[in-house]
Structure 1
Amino acid sequence: MTVDAVTPDTGVAVRATGLTLRYGRTTALDGVSLTFGTGVTGLLGPNGAGKTTLLRIVATAISPDAGQLTVLGHDPRTGPGRLAVRRRLGYLPQDPGFHTGFTVFEFVDYVAILKELDRRRERHAEVRRVVAAVGLDGQRRTRIRALSGGMRQRVALAAALVGDPALLILDEPTVGLDPEQRMRFRELFAELGDGRTVLLSTHQTEDVMSLCREVVVIDHGAVRFTGSPADLAALADGRVWTSAGREPDALASWRTGTGLYRHVGDPPPGAELLAPTIEDGYLTLVDLAGAQGGNR
Structure 2
Amino acid sequence: MTIAATAPAVRASGLSLRYGRTPALSDVDLTLTAGVTALLGPNGAGKTTLLRIVATALVPDSGELTVLGADPRTAGGRLAVRRRLGYLPQDPGFHPRFTAFEFVDYVAILKELSDRRARHGEVRRVLAAVGLEGQRRRRIRALSGGMRQRVALAAALVGDPELLILDEPTVGLDPEQRLRFREMIAEFGEGRTVLLSTHQTEEVMALCQHVIVLDRGFARFAGPPAALATLAGGRVWTSGSREPHALASWRTGTGLYRHVGDPPPGADLLDPTVEDGYLMLVDVAASEVRA
State the TM-score bracket (shorter-chain normalisation): over 0.9
One-letter amino acid matched to 2:109:
I
Q: Which residues in structure 2 correspond to 1:94-133 (within 5 Å)?
A: 94-133=90-129
1:210 equivalent in structure 2: 206
**What CA distance in whole angstroms lies between the structure 1 residues aligned with 2:161 and 2:290?**
36
Shift of 1:10: 4.9
Query: Could you give the per-residue CA deviations for residues 180-199 of structure 1, whole angstroms, max 9, x where no partner exists?
Result: 11011000000110111000
- % identical aligned pairs: 78
Q: Distance in 2 between matches of 1:208 and 1:258?
A: 25
Does 2:168 match 1:172?
yes
* 1:152 is the counterpart of 2:148: yes
Q: Residue 48 of structure 1: which of 44, 47, 61 is its match?
A: 44
TM-score by length of 2: 0.97
In the alignment, what sits opposite 2:181? 185
Which of 128, 153, 159 pairs up with 1:163?
159
Distance change >3 Å, CA 294–CA 146, structure 1 → 2: farther
2:254 to 248, 252, 258: 258
The alignment status of 1:280 with 2:279, answered yes or no, reads no
Distance 1:223 1:35 in 2: 12
- Alpha-carbon distance in 1 for matches of 2:145, 2:199: 18
Matched, 1:57 2:53: yes
Deviates more, 1:285-294 or 1:52-61: 285-294
Shift of 1:25: 1.1
TM-score, structure 1 normalization: 0.96
Cα offset, 1:34, TM superposition: 0.8
Corresponding residue for residue 221 of structure 1: 217
Checking the alignment, whether the CA contact within 8 Å between 1:220 and 1:294 is kept in structure 2 is no
Task: Give the deviation of 1:258 after TM superposition.
Answer: 1.0
Amino acid at match of 2:199: H
SS in 2 for 1:117: coil
Decide whether the 8 Å contact of 1:36 with 1:197 is kept in 2.
yes
Alpha-carbon deviation of 1:100? 1.2
Aligned residue type for 1:256: T
* 1:3 matched residue in structure 2: none
Q: Say whether the 8 Å CA contact 2:6–2:33 is kept in structure 1.
A: no
Structure 1 gap segments, 5+ residues each: 1-8
Among 129, 132, 144, the residue aligned to 1:136: 132
Q: Which runs of 4+ in 1 moved over 6 A?
A: none
Find the counterpart in structure 1 of residue 14 from structure 2.
18
Q: Is residue 2:229 matched to residue 1:230?
A: no
- How has the CA–CA distance of structure 1 residues 117 and 256 changed in structure 2, closer, same or farther, with 3 Å as cutoff? same
- Which amino acid letter does the alignment assign opposite residue 16 of structure 2? T
Where 1:153 maps in the other structure, the secondary structure is helix
Q: What SS does the corresponding residue of 1:235 show, helix, strand or coil?
A: helix
Using the alignment, how far apart are the partners of 1:37 and 1:136 within structure 2? 30
Tell me, in whole angstroms, the C-alpha distance in 2 between the residues paired with 1:166 and 1:267: 45
Report the Cα distance in structure 1 between the residues aligned to 2:114 and 2:187, rounded to whole angstroms: 27
Q: Deviations over 1:84-139 (max 9, x none)?
A: 00000000000000011111111100110111101000000000000000000000
Q: Give the RMSD, CA atoms, in angstroms.
A: 1.1
The alignment partner of 2:277 has SS state of helix
1:294 Cα deviation after fit: 7.2
Which 5+ residue runs of structure 2 have no aligned equivalent? Answer: none
Q: Distance in 1 between matches of 2:96 and 2:129?
A: 21
Matches of 1:143 and 1:78 in 2, distance apart?
Answer: 37
SS of the aligned residue for 2:232 comes to coil
